[in-house]
Chains A and B, each alone.
Chain A
């Protein structure tokens, strides 16, 4: 089945450590996105990419980095500069068409906690 796979499901980070969250999709979507969700808050956009080898900062990019070397893959690195990384991280993808009414489809998320 086509879909978006995020791994790992749970991740623990030690202070000063960088960690990388994986996101892979086989939907042949051009656009991919990373969000974080905190309790009681809406999803907030970290980074997005419309095409391979190109990505843009979202609303809360500080302390994060991404790469888009393949269409299928959009890994997110949470660096030691991100002082409050504990959150639920969601990866999404969508088609980029001639209409803005293309829904985003989500992976099942990674829960990151601080040790």
Chain B
């Protein structure tokens, strides 16, 4: 079983749609979680950290379910510019102040006019 698993997609949605991605992780000791966005042939960029209570940043909402070991990302009112690959990332190093990140292979989102 992969340490971090994501549906590769692609998810094809029209502009204005709401779309949700899920991600599961296998290491129950994982302490911190992130969503990164990666455009084609570019570097990953941090989209948002994921907190236990859930958190929102504009049109983006992230949720964490520690009991079921999954993380979700919800995008509301999709824009053409949201088209990218979304990487689920888990820190398996524990609460040491240092990071050992494990990256999912990403979920590809295509938003069409």
Contacts and interface: CB of A to CB of B under 8 A. Distances in A.
Interface of A: 31, 33, 35, 40-45, 48, 50, 88, 90, 94, 96-109
Contacts of A100: 31-32, 91, 93-99
A109 B97 contact: no
Given A100-B32, A104-B99, A108-B43, 12 more contacts: A42-B102, A45-B101, A94-B99, A96-B98, A97-B97, A98-B97, A99-B97, A100-B97, A101-B31, A101-B32, A103-B46, A106-B44
27 contacts: A31-B99, A40-B8, A40-B105, A41-B105, A42-B4, A42-B103, A42-B104, A42-B106, A43-B44, A43-B87, A43-B101, A45-B101, A96-B98, A98-B97, A99-B32, A99-B95, A100-B31, A100-B91, A100-B96, A100-B97, A101-B31, A101-B49, A104-B46, A106-B43, A106-B45, A107-B43, A108-B43
Interface residues of B, number: 28
A99 B51 CA distance: 13
Interface in B29-87: 31-32, 34, 41-46, 49, 87
Nearest to A50: B98
Contacts of B8: 40
B98 A90 contact: no
B100 interface: yes
Contact of A42 (B49, B94, B105): B105
B52 to A, nearest CB: 11
Q: Which 4 A-B pairs have the closest CB atoms?
A: A42-B103, A106-B43, A43-B103, A101-B32
A25 B94 CA distance: 25
Nearest to A48: B100
Contacts of B93: 100
